[in-house]
Amino acid sequence: MSLAKRIIPCLDVKNGETVKGTNFVNLRSAGDPVELGRAYSDAGADELVYLDITASHEGRKTFTDMVTRVAYEINIPFTVGGGINAIEDVDRMLAAGADKVSVNSAALDRPDFIDEIAGKYGSQVCVCAIDARNDADGWHCYIHGGRIRVERTLLDWAKEVADRGAGEILFTSMDHDGVKQGFANEALAMLADTLPIPVIASGGAGKREHFRDAFTMGHADAALAASVFHFGEIPIPELKQWLYNEGITVRL
């Protein structure tokens, strides 16, 4: 029996509200993050991801308060990310009620940070988010909300992340983000077939078939999406029933 594939709504939070954009820009409001989270939990989402996309000092306080409220309202695991640069940030988020933290730019700036999180809390707490784009010279990683390219290739960095103790990888294809034309299944399969840890697909969900393809062609362990859930385009109970009928193992 294979492990159930997970469906994960992602909520980008800015100044206390959920927003969604296309290719990391052109943000529009999608509602209250706590109310949305509760609705997703009730609808059968397996996990949630909350990302603080403007993690300034003031934003952090707002976000931490929100994490506390989310933890009170929902009964499924949730991951938080955005502006987590030091072990103190991890401490604060877990104390507020988060189950896992997601690190991205900070890990590329200082890879030892992954070892620190895994060493203190265990691999299951550390999700390493990787934003990458398929450039003319191959897949490269980007930091600071996709604004700065670094000279690390997707696969090499993903391997190092796993070696350092991250529990799973959240891979977002920047080319596919918000475009709703499907996930980057070839790159997903390359990661999933190479790495010893789960891979979450992100960027590109537009219809039910895209989720199926991420699992069958991309070999992903979970699929994450935002706008198709926030704006009611794909109800989660219907998606899971459809995937089940397609032969995908999901929790109904």
**What is the DSSP secondary-structure string of 190-225?**
HHHHH-SS-EEEES---SHHHHHHHHHTS--SEEEE
Which strand (E) or helix (H) includes residue 51?
A: strand 48-52
- Cβ neighbours of residue 90 closer than 8 Å, sequence gap 6 or more: 84, 101, 117, 120, 121, 125
Query: What does the alpha-carbon distance between residue 235 and residue 56 come to, in Å, rounded to a whole number?
Result: 33
Alpha helices in the chain (DSSP H): 33-43, 57-73, 87-96, 105-109, 112-121, 154-164, 185-194, 208-216, 227-230, 236-245
Measure the CA angle with vertex 99, ends 97 and 100; round to 5°.
125
Q: Classify 179 as helix, strand or coil.
A: coil
Query: What does the alpha-carbon distance between residue 217 and residue 138 come to, in Å, rounded to a whole number?
Result: 20
Burial class (CB in 10 A: 0-12, 13-18, 19+), 193: exposed
The yes-or-no answer on residue 12 being catalytic is yes
Dihedral sign computed on CA atoms, order 17, 168, 233, 74: negative
Identify the active-site residue in 52, 89, 131, 177: 131
Catalytic residues: 12, 131
